[in-house]
Amino acid sequence: MSAGPEVTVIETPGGAAKRRGGGAPVPSTYGEDAKPRVGFFTDTSICIGCKACEVACKEWNHVPATSSELTGHSYDNSGDLGADTWRHVAFVEQRLAVGGVAEGAPDSFVAEAHRQEVVERSGIVPERDGEGLRWLMSSDVCKHCTHAACLEVCPTGALFRTEYGTVVVQEDVCNGCGYCVPACPFGVLDRREGDGRVWKCTLCYDRLGDDLEPACAKACPTNSIQFGDHGELRARAQERVERLRADGMAEARLYGEDPGDGVGGAGAFFLLLDEPEVYGLPPDPVDTTRDLGGMWKAAGLAAGAIAAGVLAAFAGGSR
């Protein structure tokens, strides 16, 4: 186990002020009970879009069913992460062929299916250059950020940092104020309809205690979702991306793995084959609480302006 210093980055809610200088880890509040930080490495290059993770997550965590309407966005009918979707598989269809742009390729698999149908009915095979379609699939999840905006802005303490360095909502404390919803730079959290509280991935906190891996990782048939020690996963991700690049996939990149990013690095990071925004991920997410000092200063000055305005108003007498 390569337990670097980043492995034990576990924060207290009040740790924000201490840790801004260069992202140094703060001492855990758990003392001897602290566990090595765990996380997910989702290698999207081997995701086959089976959605076993979505199903396993729902089953294990008793997450309510979501609407089953068809979005028309390839095979994605769950849309995005939310209160009732803690793993979400994105499907991106691209005309960009592996190894070069193919002209004359269909726009999507739907278009391709339609072409096949025309071929079968008419017997005429239109001319095509190459195969030309690429299918990106990626299982998204809560990032369990090192600097988690949701946790920092939560006024009740319902969101907390576990002894494993993950971020979890305590449903018996959450009062549904909704502050974490727009605070999350990834749009992970949402309030559950008819319930009033906020729900998200717990990284299967209940399973971790029994040394079980999270349900999604357990169910993943290709090991696209890998669970484990955070430091070990980072090393593995680095190896994997280098290997893919050496094999000619120059577009392979890691996302959320860098502790120098705007959220101090994610507990759950990804290997992507295109820009993050293509998968619905923000290209440069930031924990806005890092600007809080300046914001309090501005609010303080503005409060002072009210006091000064009132005093000045009475300087000229009652008329």
Residues 40-79 that bind other proteins (CB under 8 A): 71, 73, 76, 79
Q: Is 175 in the site for other proteins (CB under 8 A)?
A: yes
Largest CA distance in the chain: 94
Reduced to 3 states (helix: H, G, I; strand: E, B; else coil), residue 228 is strand
Nearer to other proteins, 112 or 195 (CB): 195
Candidates 50, 187, 228, 236: give the one binding other proteins (CB under 8 A): 187
* Nearest distance in Å: CB 263, other proteins: 10
Q: Is 275 in the site for other proteins (CB under 8 A)?
A: yes
Taking residue 82's Cβ as centre, other Cβ atoms within 10 Å add up to 21
Strands (E), 125-210: 134-141, 159-161, 167-169, 190-191, 198-199
Reduced to 3 states (helix: H, G, I; strand: E, B; else coil), residue 239 is helix
CA 181/CA 191 separation, integer angstroms: 8
Q: Is 184 in the site for other proteins (CB under 8 A)?
A: yes
Nearer to other proteins, 209 or 248 (CB): 248
Candidates 255, 269, 270, 279: give the one binding other proteins (CB under 8 A): 279
Q: Is 90 in the site for other proteins (CB under 8 A)?
A: yes
By CB under 8 A, what part of segment 6-25 binds other proteins? 13-14, 16-17
Q: Is 195 in the site for other proteins (CB under 8 A)?
A: yes
Question: What number of chain residues touch other proteins (CB under 8 A)?
Answer: 87
Place of tokens 């930031």: 286
Q: Pairing mode, if any, of strands 198-199 and 38-43? A: unpaired
Residue type, 99: G
Q: Is 309 in the site for other proteins (CB under 8 A)?
A: yes
Q: Is 204 in the site for other proteins (CB under 8 A)?
A: no
Distances (CA, A) of 179 to 85, 149, 196, 234, 302: 19, 10, 13, 31, 23
* Burial (0-12, 13-18, 19+ Cβ within 10 Å), 4: middle
Q: Is 89 in the site for other proteins (CB under 8 A)?
A: no
Q: Is 239 in the site for other proteins (CB under 8 A)?
A: no
Nearer to other proteins, 79 or 228 (CB): 79
Reduced to 3 states (helix: H, G, I; strand: E, B; else coil), residue 155 is coil
CA 169/CA 200 separation, integer angstroms: 7
Stretch that binds other proteins, among 19-27, 34-42, 120-128, 310-318 (CB under 8 A): 310-318
CA 189/CA 201 separation, integer angstroms: 9
21 CB-near residues (< 8 Å, 6+ apart): none
Q: Is 291 in the site for other proteins (CB under 8 A)?
A: yes
Nearer to other proteins, 27 or 196 (CB): 196
By CB under 8 A, what part of segment 207-236 binds other proteins? none
Q: Is 123 in the site for other proteins (CB under 8 A)?
A: no
Q: Is 110 in the site for other proteins (CB under 8 A)?
A: no
Candidates 124, 125, 246, 306: give the one binding other proteins (CB under 8 A): 306
By CB under 8 A, what part of segment 153-172 binds other proteins? 153-158
CA 78/CA 51 separation, integer angstroms: 10
Candidates 7, 10, 141, 189: give the one binding other proteins (CB under 8 A): 189
Residue type, 31: G
